[in-house]
Amino acid sequence: MENNNNNHQQPPKDNEQLKSFWSKGMEGDLNVKNHEFPISRIKRIMKFDPDVSMIAAEAPNLLSKACEMFVMDLTMRSWLHAQESNRLTIRKSDVDAVVSQTVIFDFLRDDVPKDEGEPVVAAADPVDDVADHVAVPDLNNEELPPGTVIGTPVCYGLGIHAPHPQMPGAWTEEDATGANGGNGGN
Amino acid sequence: MTEESPEEDHGSPGVAETNPGSPSSKTNNNNNNNKEQDRFLPIANVGRIMKKVLPGNGKISKDAKETVQECVSEFISFVTGEASDKCQREKRKTINGDDIIWAITTLGFEDYVAPLKVYLCKYRDTEGEKVNSPKQQQQRQQQQQIQQQNHHNYQFQEQDQNNNNMSCTSYISHHHPSPFLPVDHQPFPNIAFSPKSLQKQFPQQHDNNIDSIHW
Q: Are residues B75 and B101 located together in one domain of the fold? A: yes
Verify whether the Cβ–Cβ distance B116 to A57 is below 8 Å.
no
| Per-residue model confidence as pLDDT tens digits over B103-151 | 999 999 989 999 999 999 989 988 765 554 554 444 445 554 565 555 4
At B214 the pLDDT is: 43
Q: Which residue has the higher pLDDT, A140 or B101?
A: B101
What residues of chain A lie within 8 A of the CB of B46, using their CB? 71
Contacts of A178 (CB under 8 A, 6+ apart): A151, A152, A154, A170
CA dihedral A186, B1, B3, B8 (to 10 degrees): -120
Does residue B177 sit within a domain?
no
CA–CA separation, A157 and A110 (whole Å): 9
Q: Are residues B43 and B66 located together in one domain of the fold? A: yes
Cα→Cα distances B171→A52, B107, B134, Å: 82, 94, 56
At B79 the pLDDT is: 97
Does residue B164 sit within a domain?
no
| Per-residue model confidence as pLDDT tens digits over A59-105 | 999 999 899 999 999 998 999 999 999 999 999 999 999 999 898 99
Closest partner CB to A49 (pick from B5, B66, B70):
B5
| H or E element in which residue B58 lies | none
Does residue A129 sit within a domain?
no
Closest partner CB to A65 (pick from B77, B108, B116):
B116
Does residue A44 sit within a domain?
yes
Does residue A59 sit within a domain?
yes
Does residue B80 sit within a domain?
yes
What residues of chain A lie within 8 A of the CB of B99, using their CB? 59
> Please, which pLDDT band fits residue A45 given cuts at 50, 70 and 90?
very high
CA–CA separation, A107 and A70 (whole Å): 13
Verify whether the Cβ–Cβ distance A38 to B46 is below 8 Å.
no
Nearest partner of A13 among A80, A102, A85, A61, judged by Cα = A80
Which residue type, as a one-letter code, is found at position A16?
Answer: E
Residue B54 domain boundaries = 38-107
At B18 the pLDDT is: 34
Q: Are residues B65 and B115 located together in one domain of the fold? A: no
CA dihedral A140, A144, A145, A147 (to 10 degrees): 130
Other C-beta atoms lying within 10 Å of the C-beta of residue B73: 23
CB A77 within 8 A of CB A102: yes
CA–CA separation, A132 and A160 (whole Å): 13
Residues 39-98 of B with CB under 8 A from A: 39, 41-42, 45-46, 48-50, 52-54, 57-61, 63-64, 66-68, 70-81, 83-85, 88, 93-97
Verify whether the Cβ–Cβ distance B67 to A92 is below 8 Å.
yes
Does residue B211 sit within a domain?
no
Supply the CATH number for residue A52's domain.
1.10.20.10
Domain count, chain A: 1
CB B50 within 8 A of CB B68: yes
Q: Are residues B52 and B103 located together in one domain of the fold? A: yes
Q: Are residues B44 and B102 located together in one domain of the fold? A: yes
Residue B94 pairs in a beta bridge with: A54
What residues of chain B lie within 8 A of the CB of A26, using their CB? 114-115, 118
What residues of chain A lie within 8 A of the CB of B119, using their CB? 30, 32, 62, 65
Range scoring the smallest mean pLDDT among A35-44, B20-29, B112-121, B173-182 = B20-29
Does residue A130 sit within a domain?
no
Q: Are residues B42 and B101 located together in one domain of the fold? A: yes
Mean pLDDT score, A129-138: 41
> Please, which pLDDT band fits residue A107 given cuts at 50, 70 and 90?
very high
Verify whether the Cβ–Cβ distance A49 to B81 is below 8 Å.
yes
DSSP designation for A159? T
What residues of chain B lie within 8 A of the CB of A52, using their CB? 80, 84, 95
At A169 the pLDDT is: 44
Residue A48 domain boundaries = 12-106
Supply the CATH number for residue B87's domain.
1.10.20.10
Other C-beta atoms lying within 10 Å of the C-beta of residue B163: 10
Does residue A115 sit within a domain?
no
Domain count, chain B: 2
Other C-beta atoms lying within 10 Å of the C-beta of residue B209: 13
Residue A54 pairs in a beta bridge with: B94
Does residue B116 sit within a domain?
yes
Does residue B180 sit within a domain?
no
CA–CA separation, A51 and A130 (whole Å): 41
Other C-beta atoms lying within 10 Å of the C-beta of residue B192: 7
DSSP designation for A103? G
Q: Is B16 on the interface with A (CB under 8 A)?
A: no
Q: Are residues B100 and B117 located together in one domain of the fold? A: no
| Per-residue model confidence as pLDDT tens digits over B170-207 | 434 444 444 444 444 444 454 554 455 454 445 544 44
Range scoring the smallest mean pLDDT among A148-157, B2-11, B25-34, B184-193 = B2-11
At A137 the pLDDT is: 41
Verify whether the Cβ–Cβ distance B61 to A92 is below 8 Å.
yes
Q: Are residues B115 and B137 located together in one domain of the fold? A: yes
